[in-house]
Amino acid sequence: MPIIVQKFGGTSVADSQKILAAARKAIRAQQQGNQVVMVVSAMGKNTDVLVDLANEITDAPSAREMDMLLSTGEQVSVALMAMAIHSLGYKAISLTGAQIGIRTDSTHTKARIRSISTERMQKLLSEGNIVIAAGFQGIDENYNITTLGRGGSDTTAVALAAVLGAEACEIYTDVDGIYTTDPRLLPEARRLTQTSYDEMLELASLGAGVMHSRSIEFAKKFSVPIHVRSSFTDIPGTMIVAEGESADQAVGGATLTKDEARVTVFGVPDRPGSSLAIFSRIADRAVSVDMIVQNIGEEGKADITFTVPRDDLRATRHAVEEAVREIGAGGFTCDEGVSKISVVGLGMARQTGVADRMFQALADAGVNIQMISTSEIKISVLVARESALDALRAVHREFKLDVQPESPAVSTAPTQRTSNAVEVVRRLAGMEDLAIDDLTLDETQARITISHVQDKPGVAAAVFRQIAQTDVFVDMIVQGYGRGGQANLSFTVPHQQISRALMDVGKLAKSLDCGAVTSSPRVAKLSVSGIGLRSHTGVAIRMFRSLAEAGINVEMINTSEVRVNVVVAGEHGQKAMECLKQAFADVLL
Ligand code: ADP
Ligand code: ASP
Ligand code: MG
């Protein structure tokens, strides 16, 4: 009999009537001939209430006790849900994460699932029960209760769907599908009929809070079709499957990550290993770093700037303080008043001129870009928090995200589960372990750097508009925030096109009052691709470590959920590739 997993978020079980309505949905699915597993979140805002209570007692609650506390929210709702189903005359049983056998690691408040036993659930289902699983929780090897991180019930649901071989995972929530951006921020956002795992993975990790990003890692790894829909209406909602809505659309969605913090470590000795010293300490605290930019400064010292979620700033400061002492850097500065705006689209990899359109739209809206980081399917910029909403609106309009694309979806058929999923599980020690599927070396590119980019709207727009007119294909772009408000802007172009690009850029940089333009005619770009690379904080670290040990300096880096790219000096390409092969040998699929 087919299995369906249905997940109900907090607002969908906020009171007894809503619990009964959810119960009826599950019963209906069972009557239609399915075995049904429900995954339920804590009622309404109960998790927030529990967090506030803890914070009233101490501002540094123990992570283990936090998990003990937060897991109670879900325990309440699963019990009530079982009672609701009983009252309607059907069989149901509620189970905590521990009772199901959801084994996790011991990273309290951010635990990762290692394994899930299916025997008990299978037996209960075959006896005609609706199985009701508590979302967002598990148990570690010492029987400590763990939680998967805020919003983690989605991950429980998709993980259960994966191990049970469910037909689909239905996510019932307070919005009727996935929108081009958060509809609470922009009313003009449009509901997508379908979106791809890769885009959703990126959108979710960049702030589209509608799905927990790790749930999409599972969905992609195990080919689980996800159907996001409203608890309160019968609108068809959005399918998250292998392919997106339209093949030739450059941008499929935009996000605003509101609460970011920027950290700049200055006066860093420019030698291999400096970055590693900083980022490994941050990774040890399970904080994920984004938008890493290194500016080569004067006297062989560099400035390294990156962003972290604002909530993680305290842990990050401790890590950076230690690193600064160890490597003898000058010091560091932080800015908590920044937000990140990103656009995501699979079509970007095949089209030019996406970045310059985004930068121009921001310039026209008077928004100053503090940092830039691009990857194959995503462009992120850092802006002051007070201009973030204007920035999101400008970008959403520029890419016409409110308009239904003309070309139809590539395929509307749900993803077929492949035997690949079984193969993946067999090879991984833990279900959420890092899995790398490719390592590549690209030796065809050159790097251009414009120093002392003025801190005012419109500079990036002018540079990339000019380059777009000459048909030069720009690949990676990074702009960092330097001390004194001046930044370096670096990007890569095909090395045959470098002289053409340099001619234009040189003139332009002068007219824009920027500093010197430098270039390197041969650089090597190394890429690691896989799933959930950014949330696995160790990927960039492994790259930094293996390259540092070989004495190779990383000149540029960008990260996305599906790929991490680093640029090193051209002559180091082959050697760097060997290093990475060794560094990732144990997780290469
Ligand atoms: P649940 O409690 O059901 O898990 P969440 O609050 O976690 O619900 O997620 C639903 C919310 O996600 C919506 O109310 C919406 O404001 C927000 N959201 C953010 N980005 C998007 C997006 N791109 N599409 C739809 N909703 C989004
Ligand atoms: N109740 C948890 C939270 O609010 C998990 C979830 O709802 O997904 O974060
Ligand atoms: Mg949620």
* Rounded Cα–Cα distance for residues 525 and 544 (Å): 14
- Specify if 155 maps to a domain: yes
Cα 84 to ligand 2 centre (Å): 21
109 and 17 within one domain: yes
- How, if at all, do strands 35-40 and 3-8 pair? parallel
The last residue of a domain, from among 207, 224, 245: 245
Q: What phi-psi label fits residue 449: left (phi over 0), alpha (psi between -120 and 50 degrees) or beta?
A: beta
- Ligand that comes closest to the CA of residue 344: 1
241 and 259 within one domain: no
Q: How many CB atoms lie within 10 A of CB 17?
A: 9
Judge whether 260 and 310 are in contact, CB under 8 Å. yes
Query: Does ligand 1 come within 6 angstroms of the Cβ of 431?
Result: no
**Taking Cα atoms as reference points, which of 581, 536, 554, 569 lies closest to residue 478?**
554
Judge whether 133 and 40 are in contact, CB under 8 Å. yes
**DSSP 3-state helix, strand, coil percentages of the chain (rounded to 5)?**
40, 30, 35
- Give the closest residue (by CA) to ligand 1 atom 11: 210
- Specify if 30 maps to a domain: yes
235 and 285 within one domain: no
265 and 227 within one domain: no
pLDDT at 245: 82
Judge whether 527 and 440 are in contact, CB under 8 Å. yes
215 and 336 within one domain: no
* Rounded Cα–Cα distance for residues 355 and 251 (Å): 11
Pocket test for ligand 2, best of 78, 153, 173 (most atoms within 8 A of CB): 153
**Taking Cα atoms as reference points, which of 121, 105, 126 lies closest to residue 160?**
121
pLDDT at 586: 87
297 and 228 within one domain: no
- Give the closest residue (by CA) to ligand 2 atom 9: 150
- Specify if 410 maps to a domain: no
- Specify if 530 maps to a domain: yes
The last residue of a domain, from among 210, 245, 280: 245
Judge whether 566 and 526 are in contact, CB under 8 Å. yes
Cα 208 to ligand 1 centre (Å): 7
Residue 372 sits at the vertex; the CA angle it makes with 368 and 374, to the nearest 5 degrees, is: 145
What residues have CB less than 8 Å from 499, skipping those under 6 apart?
Answer: none
543 and 474 within one domain: yes
pLDDT at 107: 93
pLDDT at 250: 87
Q: How many CB atoms lie within 10 A of CB 571?
A: 12
pLDDT at 423: 63
* Rounded Cα–Cα distance for residues 227 and 240 (Å): 6
Judge whether 450 and 460 are in contact, CB under 8 Å. no
Number of domains in the chain: 2
- Give the closest residue (by CA) to ligand 2 atom 6: 151
Q: Which residues surround ligand 3, an ion (CB under 5 A)?
A: 9, 151
* Rounded Cα–Cα distance for residues 178 and 201 (Å): 12
Cα 45 to ligand 2 centre (Å): 9
Q: In this structure, what CATH number is given to the domain that contains residue 530?
A: 3.30.2130.10
Whole-number Cα distances in Å, 446 to 255, 491, 523, 556: 30, 8, 5, 12
Q: Digits of tens for pLDDT over the chain (589 positions)? A: 999 999 999 999 999 999 999 999 999 999 999 999 999 999 999 999 999 999 999 999 999 999 999 999 999 999 999 999 999 999 999 999 999 999 999 999 999 999 999 999 999 999 999 999 999 999 999 999 999 999 999 999 999 999 999 999 999 999 999 999 999 999 999 999 999 999 999 999 998 999 999 999 999 999 999 999 999 998 999 999 998 887 778 899 999 999 999 999 999 987 888 889 999 999 888 888 999 988 766 677 888 999 999 999 999 999 999 999 999 999 999 999 999 999 999 888 777 789 999 999 999 999 999 999 998 899 999 999 999 999 999 999 999 999 988 765 555 444 455 455 556 655 566 888 888 889 999 999 999 999 888 888 898 999 998 888 888 889 999 998 766 667 889 999 999 999 988 988 988 999 999 989 999 999 999 999 998 887 777 888 889 899 999 999 888 888 888 899 999 999 999 999 999 999 999 888 7
- How, if at all, do strands 145-147 and 35-40 pair? unpaired
Which ligand 2 atom sits nearest the alpha carbon of residue 10? Answer: 7
Query: Does ligand 1 come within 6 angstroms of the Cβ of 136?
Result: no
- Specify if 503 maps to a domain: yes
**Strands of 102-104's sheet in order across:** 113-116, 102-104, 137-139, 145-147
131 and 208 within one domain: yes
Tell me the residue range of the domain where 540 lies.
254-400+435-583
What residues have CB less than 8 Å from 143, skipping those under 6 apart?
Answer: 98
* Rounded Cα–Cα distance for residues 355 and 415 (Å): 31
- Give the closest residue (by CA) to ligand 1 atom 21: 182
Query: Does ligand 1 come within 6 angstroms of the Cβ of 210?
Result: yes
- Give the closest residue (by CA) to ligand 2 atom 4: 47
pLDDT at 412: 46
Judge whether 465 and 360 are in contact, CB under 8 Å. yes
281 and 236 within one domain: no
pLDDT at 294: 82
Query: Does ligand 1 come within 6 angstroms of the Cβ of 10?
Result: yes
Which ligand 2 atom sits nearest the alpha carbon of residue 73? Answer: 1
Half-sphere exposure for 50 (CA within 13 Å, toward CB): 18
pLDDT at 422: 57
19 and 108 within one domain: yes
- Specify if 588 maps to a domain: no
pLDDT at 272: 81
Cα 208 to ligand 3 centre (Å): 10
Query: Does ligand 1 come within 6 angstroms of the Cβ of 178?
Result: yes
Query: Does ligand 1 come within 6 angstroms of the Cβ of 45?
Result: no
Residue ranges around ligand 2 (CB below 6 Å): 9-10, 41-42, 47, 73, 135-136, 150-153
Residue 518, amino acid:
T
DSSP state of 253: E
Query: Does ligand 1 come within 6 angstroms of the Cβ of 206?
Result: no
Q: In this structure, what CATH number is given to the domain that contains residue 29?
A: 3.40.1160.10
DSSP state of 180: S
265 and 174 within one domain: no
Residue recorded with tokens 């521990």: 98
The last residue of a domain, from among 222, 245, 268: 245
Cα 5 to ligand 3 centre (Å): 16
Half-sphere exposure for 490 (CA within 13 Å, toward CB): 23
294 and 329 within one domain: yes
